[in-house]
A and B are shown apart, each in its own frame.
Chain A
Amino acid sequence: MLNIAVCVKQVPDTEARLSVAADKTRIEEQGISFILNPYDEHAVEEAIRLKEKQGGTVTVFCLGPARAEEAIRTALAMGADKAVHLADAAFGGGDEGTAAAALEKAIAGKSFDLVLAGRLAIDDASGQVGARLAEKLGWPHVTAVTRLAVEGREAVANREIDGGSQVVAVTLPAVITAQRGLNQPRYPKIPDIMKARRKEVAKVTPADLGLSGGEVGGAGAKGKVAGLAPAPGRSAGKVIAGEPADAARKVVGLLRDEAKVI
C-alpha cells in the first residue's frame, strides 16, 4: 500500500503561440489553451502504475488559479483518486519558495509515502519546487528520474547523467521528480473523463494550511520576475557547397575560427 501525492501544474499548451503581456513580466493568457505540464503527466502516470501494482491512493496537489482545475481533472481522469487545489488568489504571483512552502503545509503529516512531481514545469522551467519541497519536508529527493522501483520502504531511482546513468536508493518517504522517458503517460478513457467530474477536489486557502497572507503568493515571495522577453529570431544558416571532404574541412575551419566552439 502506497499513499502517493503528485504535485501538478497547469501550463500553456506546447502548441500555443505565446506573446509577452504588456507589463513584460507575464505571458498573455488571452486566447491560449492550457494543459497539464507534460513532466507532471509522467509523474501522475508513475503514481497510478505504482498504485495499480501495490494498492494505495493517489492524491493530486495543484497550486494555481481556478482554470487549473482542468489540469487536475485530467490527472483524475488518468486514475488519481482525489485532489487538493490551492486555488485561492492569495497563492498567486509567488515564487518557487512560496509554492514549496504551501505544498509542504498541504502534504506534511498526511502519511504520504511518496511525492512525485515533474522535474520542471515547461512555463518557467525553474525546476526548483520538487527539491525545495523535499527540503521543507525533510525527506530525501531524487530529481529527473527515468526509472523508478519501489519495494517496501526503499525506492531505487535511475537518473541520466552526462555520458551515463546513476542509480540512487532512498528510504521512504521521499520526493521523486520525473524526467521524460520515465513512462508513456496513458490517455484517459472517455468513461473515466466523465467519472473524474465526480471526484473530490478540495479547495484550500492559506488559512486552511495555517499560513498567513504574508507567507504566500506575491506577498511572501523573495524574488519576482523583473522581465520577460521572447527568444530572438534565428538568422538564416550558411550552406557550405563543394565535395564532402572539402566541405567538412571548411565547416571545421568555421567552427574553430569564426564560431570558436572547437
Chain B
Amino acid sequence: MSQLADYYRIEDLLQPEERAVRDTVRKFVDREVKPIIGEAWLKGEFPRHLIPKIAELGLFGPTLPEEYGGAGLSPLAYGMAMQELERGDSGLRSFASVQSALAMYAIYRWGNEDQRRHWLPRMCAGEVIGCFGLTEPDAGSDPDMMTTKARRTGKGWVLSGVKRWITNGSLANVAVVWAKGESGKVCGFLVEKGQPGFTTTDTHTKASMRASITSDLILDGVEVAEDHVLPGVKGLGSALSCLTEARFGIAFGVVGAAMDCLQEALDYTSVRKVFGQPLAAKQLTQERLADMLARVTSAQLLAVRLGQLKAAGQMTYPQVSLAKRENVRHALEVARMSRELLGANGITTEYASIRHMCNLETVDTYEGAYEVHTLILGRDLTGIAAF
C-alpha cells in the first residue's frame, strides 16, 4: 500500500486478517471494477456480472456468523472492505451495503431463527439480493411521516404504499419493507419479487450513482403471510438500527473514494506540465494536495477509531453520525479538488474524480443527510431536539 494512501500508518492499527481482507478486496477492485466502471457509470448500468464474483469473494454479510454463511469479520475488516469497494465506485459499495448492512442485518437482527436460516445463507451466496424500503416520496429525513400502511387480515397482512430512492429495488428478490400498522406502530415485512400487487420502476434521470439501481417500490394491496413479518421489530427504532450499520460502512467507504481521488490528482499533476513545470511544482497545487491529504488522513482516523469502538461494543449512534457526516464531506471536498486539478480532463469519465464527486453528492444526502447528522449531534450535545 502506498505511503500516500496511509500517511499515519493506519496499517499498524489493523490485525493481519483485517489487512488481508483489505488487500484482497483491493485486488478484486483493481482487476474487476476499475477497468469497466467508468463506462458502466456513463451508460447508467449496474455491472450485474459482478454479483456472483462479489458473492464468491465473500462480501455479502461478511460480519455474520459462519452458521448463516458469513465469515465473522471484525468491524474494522468490514470497514476496510467497504473502503476498497468504494475506491472502485460508491454505487458498488452501496449495492454491498444495502445487501449486507440493511437487508441482511434487518433479517439477522429482527427476524426469527427460521427466517435467518431461510434467507441469510442464500443472500451470502448472492442467490438472493435484498433491498430496504424505508424512504417514501414524502418521507425522507422524517421517516415517521411514512404513509405505507399494513392492515391485518385473517391470514396475515396487506401492504399499500410507495417507497422511493430504494437502492437495488428492481434487482432485489426480497424487499425489507417498513410500514405502519393500524395503531401507527412501524412494522417490518419481507416482500418477495413477483408477489401480486408488488411492482418496481427505476429512476433513470440520475446524474449521480449512475452505476447503481435506484427504484420506486409500489405496493398495491400486497398480501404478506405471517412468516414474512419480522417479529423482533419494536417500531421505527428497529429500522433506524439498520441505518446505523449502513452508516458505519459509509464512514469507511467514502475514505476509499477520497483515496482514489488523491492518488489520481497526484499522478496527474506530477506529469501534466504548465508554464514549463509539472503542475505539482506549483504552490497552488501543493496547497490543494496537502489539504486533500489532511482530509483523507482525518477521515481514516475517524473511521478506524469508530471501528475500534464498535469492536469493543462501545459505539453509539451519534458517534456514527459524526463519522458519516465528516467523512462524506471530506471525501466530497477531496473529489472536487481533484476534479479541479485535472482541468478539462477532469470532466471526463476517463478519470475517476468526477464520477466519485457526483456519486458522493448522493452519499452526502442518503443514509441520513448531512443536516440530519448535524441535528443528531446537536441533540446529543444539548439534550434538545431541534429537528
Contact = CB atoms under 8 A, between A and B. Distances in A.
Interface in B1-39: 1-3, 9, 11, 16-17, 19-21, 23-25, 27-28, 31
A211 to B, nearest CB: 28
14 contacts: A15-B1, A31-B9, A70-B16, A77-B24, A189-B56, A190-B21, A190-B57, A190-B59, A190-B71, A190-B73, A190-B81, A191-B62, A193-B17, A196-B17
Given A33-B11, A187-B28, A193 B20 contact: yes
A18 B100 CA distance: 39
Contacts of B59: 190
A199 to B, nearest CB: 12
Interface residues of A, number: 22
Given A13-B1, A31-B9, A33-B11, A194 B17 contact: yes
B386 to A, nearest CB: 41
Given A190-B59, A194-B17, 5 more contacts: A16-B2, A70-B20, A74-B20, A189-B57, A190-B24
Contacts of B31: 187
B3 A16 contact: yes
Contacts of B16: 69-70, 73
A190 B2 contact: no
Contacts of A35: 23
B24 A191 contact: no
A40 B221 CA distance: 60
A181 interface: no
A70 B72 CA distance: 19
Contact of B71 (A13, A69, A191): A191
A180 to B, nearest CB: 15
B44 interface: no
Nearest to B55: A189
- Could you say which interface size class chain B belongs to? 20 to 34
Given A33-B11, A73-B17, A193 B1 contact: no
B17 A187 contact: no
Contacts of A197: 17
B140 interface: no
Contact of B2 (A15, A77, A188, A191): A15
B143 interface: no
B58 A77 contact: no
Interface of A: 13, 15-17, 31, 33, 35, 69-70, 73-74, 77, 187-194, 196-197
A194 B71 contact: yes
B28 A194 contact: no
A83 B24 CA distance: 20
B3 A17 contact: yes
Given A15-B1, A31-B9, A190-B62, A70 B19 contact: yes
A104 B66 CA distance: 39
Nearest to A70: B16
A77 B20 contact: yes
A77 B19 CA distance: 13
A190 B17 CA distance: 9
What are the 9 tightest A-B residue pairs by CB atom distance, in nearest-first order? A190-B58, A187-B27, A191-B71, A15-B2, A187-B24, A194-B71, A191-B58, A193-B20, A70-B16
A111 B2 CA distance: 41
Nearest to B70: A191
A31 B19 CA distance: 15
Contacts of A188: 20, 24
A16 B28 CA distance: 20
Contact of B24 (A15, A17, A31, A193): A193
